[in-house]
Amino acid sequence: MWDRLRFYVPFAWRFVVLRHPDPLIYGIALTDRCNLRCRGCQVSNADRPDLTWEQLVDAMQNAWSRGFRELYFSGGEPMLWRDGEHTLEHAILEAKRIGFFHVHVYTNGTLGLDTSADLVWVSMDGLPGTFEKRRGDHFKQVERAVRQGQRPRSAPKGRHHLRHRQQHSRWHRAVPAVGDGNEVSRYRGNVLLSHTLLRAR
């Protein structure tokens, strides 16, 4: 805890008072392979090679040395990443060993949420009906993964534009159900920024 305070207090001073934006959050796309073919997605299944374990470790160490302290893994679908015996879980443990304060994972949720990441962001592009149009018939599968997972912190993320109050109300009623009764903590403006934490159980 004290290590983080020693980092964040000077960081906040430089950012807020001195207007000096130091690096903080670093993202690594482990693979562009994905088990879904979502409508409008332009970053997956583009035949780019996966990162090797050596490339991944080098990228994390380089990011740490440059001052980044928060790390996230994405894809494609990061749960698919493999390099020999190394998996996403090995990458998370290595990131924590290097010293990153928090390790996040962005996933479509169809392969489960079995990970030691500090926070898992689950893609939920709207209510049933809207979700299927973009991602296919996987809403119940993803909902089940969130309900059954042992994640202390999982969060739906999406791009659902709330055009009027009725849609806002429908989403507000539906999303808390994804997480067995937990409540979404924040809305902003007229667009649901679904990077919102479900309160830990």
As a residue count, the chain comes to 201
**What is the distance between the alpha carbons of residues 123 and 142, in angstroms, rounded to a whole number?**
9
The 8-class DSSP code of residue 87 comes to E
**What is the distance between the alpha carbons of residues 156 and 44, in angstroms, rounded to a whole number?**
20
**What is the distance between the alpha carbons of residues 198 and 201, in angstroms, rounded to a whole number?**
9
The 8-class DSSP code of residue 151 comes to -
Measured CA distances, 61 to 2, 26, 105, 200 (Å): 22, 11, 18, 30
Question: 23 or 105: which carries more pLDDT confidence?
Answer: 105
**What is the distance between the alpha carbons of residues 72 and 7, in angstroms, rounded to a whole number?**
19
Give the bridge partners for 83, in sequence order: 86
* 22-33 core/surface letters (b: 16 or more CB in 10 A; e: else): eeeebebbbbbb
pTM of the predicted protein model: 0.74
Q: What is the pLDDT of residue 54?
A: 98
Question: 60 or 22: which carries more pLDDT confidence?
Answer: 60
**What is the distance between the alpha carbons of residues 143 and 146, in angstroms, rounded to a whole number?**
5
Question: If pLDDT is split at 50, 70 and 90, which confidence band does 104 have?
Answer: very high
Q: Mind listing the pLDDT tens digit for each residue in 23-79? A: 889 999 999 999 998 888 877 788 899 999 999 999 999 999 999 999 999 999 999
Q: What is the pLDDT of residue 77?
A: 96
Give the bridge partners for 74, in sequence order: 29
Q: Mind listing the pLDDT tens digit for each residue in 173-191? A: 555 444 433 333 332 222 2
Give the contacts of 150 (CB within 8 A, at least 6 positions apart).
113, 114
Question: 33 or 12: which carries more pLDDT confidence?
Answer: 33
DSSP strand pairing (86-87 vs 82-83): antiparallel
- What domains lie within the chain, and their CATH numbers? 22-177 (3.20.20.70)
**What is the distance between the alpha carbons of residues 174 and 192, in angstroms, rounded to a whole number?**
13
Q: What is the pLDDT of residue 177?
A: 45
Q: What is the pLDDT of residue 117?
A: 94
Q: What is the pLDDT of residue 162?
A: 41
